[in-house]
Structures are given as structure tokens and as C-alpha cells.
Copies of this chain bind each other. A is one copy, B any other.
Amino acid sequence: MDFLHTMVRVRSIDDSLRFYCQGLGLKELRRVDNQAGRFTLIFLATKSDIRRANLTGEEAGFVAGLPLLELTHNWPPAGGGESAGLGAEIYTGRRNFGHLAYQVDNIYEKCQHLMDMGYIINRPPHDGRMAFVKSPDGISVELVQKGDPLPAQAPWVGMENEGVW
């Protein structure tokens, strides 16, 4: 199990890169624009951490040993205005923190273990690739299958999502 990233939600990409890159000195490694989901993900790391992980810019993504900061920017709806549920309030201390993420050896085994302990898997690993669970204090934790996704299988494939994460 390896730490991958801390995710925070950001209202403005420009304002955020000014702060995190120009201000603090982090470097942008990867950017994903998702047209269908209407969001942008930007992955940052310190130059020292990148050197230590011995990566070039091209390789640098989800790599064990490279702690990333993930910025998530939700686009306004195509029709204009604020995204539903994504107004000013979420950026002032409620939903501005996103999640912790860890890479795991076997996502089904990890989720089964957590369920056996009585935790709810808010987003079950339908796809053998990703799951979300929450800490006792409501901190979202993302679990990501190491390497290729596992084959989809029961009971996970049909398990319903529960709550928010």
C-alpha cells in the first residue's frame, strides 16, 4: 500500500497555480481535461520530490514514492452559472478538502476487510479499480488498485453507491 496524493477542490485554476506553483514552488506534472465530466485535474509535486522519485516530466503520474497534490476544478455548467452543489460554500471550509489516496495490492480484499470491520464502502469497486470509504471523522479516503484494474466480479460489480465521498 502506497500513498498517492492529497486532493483539494479549487474554484480557479489560475488562482491556484499562482499560489501553488508560482508562490510555493510546486511543479505541474500532469493535467486531465474531462469534457464529459466537465472537470479538470492537475497533479503537482515539489521539484525535490520529483528528483527523489527519479522521474522525468513525462513519466510522472501516479507513482509510488511521489506524493502528489491533486487539484480538482469543476467547470461551470454548459448553460452558465455555478455547478449544482458546487457554489461558493464548498470552497470556504466544507468541501474544499477532497480526499487522501492510497494504492493497494488488491482492492477487493481491502474493501472486504473494511466491510467486515463494519465500515461502509461509499463507492464500491464496481470496476476493480477504485473505491471510496470514509474515516470516522468523515475524511474521504480513495483506494486505487495497483497496476491494471482487477476483473469486475460479484458482489462488487452490482453494489450500490451509498452517500457522498
Q: Residues of A with Cβ closer than 8 Å to B? A: 1-3, 6, 8-12, 15-16, 18-20, 22-26, 45-49, 52, 64-65, 67, 69, 91-97, 100, 102, 110, 113-114, 117, 119, 135-139, 141
Tell whether A19 pairs with B102 under 8 Å between CB atoms, given A3-B49, A67-B3. no
User: How many protomers of this protein does the assembly include?
Assistant: 2
Residue in A8, A22, A67, A94 whose Cβ sees the most chain B Cβ within 10 Å: A67
Tell whether A139 pairs with B3 under 8 Å between CB atoms, given A23-B114, A64-B48, A64-B52. no
6 nearest A-B pairs in the assembled complex, by CB-CB distance: A97-B97, A67-B67, A15-B136, A3-B67, A1-B46, A91-B137
Q: Closest B-chain residue to A135, C-beta based?
A: B19
Choose among B1, B26, B94 the residue that contacts A25 (Cβ–Cβ < 8 A).
B1
Q: How far is the CB of A23 from chain B (nearest CB, A)?
A: 5
A23 vs B110: C-alpha distance in the bound complex, in angstroms?
A: 8
Q: Closest B-chain residue to A10, C-beta based?
A: B137
Q: Closest B-chain residue to A8, C-beta based?
A: B139
Q: Are B20 and A135 in contact (CB under 8 A)?
A: yes
Tell whether A12 pairs with B92 under 8 Å between CB atoms, given A47-B1, A65-B65. no
